[in-house]
Amino acid sequence: MTRDFEARGGDDRPAAHAAPYPVEEIAAAWQRERPGTPVSSIGIVTPIWQLAKLLGDDRRRVLAAAGVDTATLDLLSVLRRSGEPYTLTTRELSRRSMVTAGAISQRVARAEREGLVTRRPGEGRTRTVLVALTPAGHELVEATVDRVLCREAELVGGLTPDQQEQLAGLLRILLQDTQHKLGDDRIRHVGED
């Protein structure tokens, strides 16, 4: 009874997983077969990888239904979050998107062909390129962001607001510490090099 109560997060919600939790079985098997080998990370890393796959696949389905890909939504979202006039340099887009200048160039070219952004030379600086959200791009990002964020709120809704806040804080600590240890502060999508 106590374990079931803990699985529900200490409240009256049903357990998040009704089937056996294979992660615990994997850790126990390694502990049995190789006593002394640290296995505590299995209970953290394995679910993170599984969640990344599930959440990434679900996001791609939501975006496909909306007719937009992840990279284009990222570009449009960065422009939209910048505030009016929804215009940034390609350098600033690259910094805020945390992708290379080459990746931004490809994203901008694709979005421009689709009528979602425009680009023009910056004033006074010949190498500066300004990218602006078009009305069609603005409309697409407004509709798509709601779909994505509402869906993701639904998916994490099995946690109470306090649990969500606690998990977000712990994940931030883990991410920043891992980035520091690996010397890599880039943010990428699962499967990206």
- pLDDT reading at 100 higher than 70: yes
Please count the CA atoms within 13 angstroms of the CA of 188 that sit on its side-chain side.
11
- Tens of pLDDT, residue by residue over 124-172, are 766 889 999 999 999 999 999 999 999 999 999 999 999 999 999 999 9
pTM for this model (two decimals):
0.74
Burial of 63 from C-beta contacts in 10 A (0-12 / 13-18 / 19+): middle
Cα–Cα distance for residue pair 14/22, rounded to 1 Å: 19
- pLDDT reading at 19 higher than 70: no
- Tens of pLDDT, residue by residue over 55-91, are 999 999 999 999 899 899 999 999 999 999 999 999 9
Question: Does residue 105 contact residue 93 with C-beta atoms inside 8 Å?
Answer: no
